[in-house]
Chains A and B, each alone.
Chain A
Amino acid sequence: MTFKNILVPYDGSAHSNRTFNKALEIAKQHNSNLKVVACLDIANLGGWYIDKRTNNDIMKKAKNLTEKLFSKLDNAAKKKSIPVDFKIIESKNTVNALTSFAKSKNIDLIIIGSSGRGGFDKVLLGSVSNGVMQKAKCPVLIIK
């Protein structure tokens, strides 16, 4: 077994930037493909009580923002000449979306930051990383 495909969940936080850099390092050593995935949560956008269209607006803005973040990451990856795929997933449950994505794409290793945007403290483990750790079928590397 080799680490051919590596999944890196990304949410734009400082933690996930650090995780991405670490993943680049590891991918270079193992000659593996990186898949960077951003999960957009459609369950609790919070715009529903104003207008239904508000949610669509929020979604569009979120997508634009993530694409901008992705282009930054892409530059960093191109400098090190590592193949990286980017993907945006919309889902109601981030953990389930990530684990099912890992299953369908035959991911060998998930590299995830210990906490991201959620979570109240850096001391504790984030809810998403904890969920992924429990549910994933492949090895999970947690970057502190």
Chain B
Amino acid sequence: MIKNILVALDGSKNSIRALSNAIQFAKQTDASITGLFVIQSFPTEMGLVRTMVGKALSKHYKRFIPIAKTMCTKKGVEFLDVVENGEEGKTIVSFAHKHNFDLIVIGSRGMGTLGKLFLGSTSNYVVNSSKIPVMIVK
């Protein structure tokens, strides 16, 4: 049974589509959705430091979290938002494993900029390294 769904969100169109698909899934099984926002940052001697991209995205997230929340509450699905610092792929996978999620939903391409022609680098990492089912939304 799928009870806990983790949706990796970054505010892109693809991630909105991923969320709406996850809602569709959650409605049928009365599952709860956790939206995970990852702020890109790297470890240094002083602790985690946000990158330029991470700083820009964190502003974007502040606008996007209420949108995601209203999307879920409209359909009557429980929604919890979590913001984490770290490398995107690794953070998503370790968070999912730590909190016993049954399913990860992720958009096929997000905010990544480089030549991620087919599948995004983050979604590719998640698919390859997670131990639980992953749904890729196009």
Contacts and interface: CB of A to CB of B under 8 A. Distances in A.
Interface of A: 1-3, 22, 25-26, 29-30, 114, 124-125, 133-134, 136-144
A144 B131 contact: yes
B132 A140 contact: no
Contact of A144 (B1, B24, B132): B132
B137 A144 contact: no
Interface in B12-57: 20-21, 24-25, 28-29
B136 interface: yes
Nearest to A142: B134
11 contacts: A1-B21, A2-B24, A29-B28, A137-B138, A139-B135, A141-B134, A141-B135, A141-B136, A142-B133, A142-B134, A144-B134
Contact of A134 (B1, B2, B103, B118): B118
Given A140-B138, A141-B133, 5 more contacts: A2-B24, A25-B1, A133-B127, A138-B138, A139-B21
Contacts of A133: 108, 119, 127, 136
Given A2-B24, A25-B1, A124-B128, A134 B135 contact: no
**Chain B: interface secondary structure?**
mixed
A30 B134 contact: no
Contacts of A143: 133
A25 B28 CA distance: 12
Contacts of B91: none
B133 A139 contact: no
A25 B127 CA distance: 21
A29 B29 contact: yes
A32 to B, nearest CB: 10
What is the size category of the interface that chain B forms with chain A?
Answer: 20 to 34
Nearest to A132: B136
B121 interface: no
Contacts of A142: 127, 133-136
Contacts of B130: 144
Per CB-CB distance, the 7 closest pairs between chain A and chain B, nearest first, are A141-B135, A134-B118, A139-B137, A29-B28, A140-B136, A142-B134, A143-B133
A139 B136 contact: yes
A48 to B, nearest CB: 33
A22 B2 CA distance: 10
A98 to B, nearest CB: 15
A3 B24 contact: yes
Nearest to B105: A139
A88 B132 CA distance: 29
Nearest to B133: A143
Contacts of A125: 127-128
A129 to B, nearest CB: 9
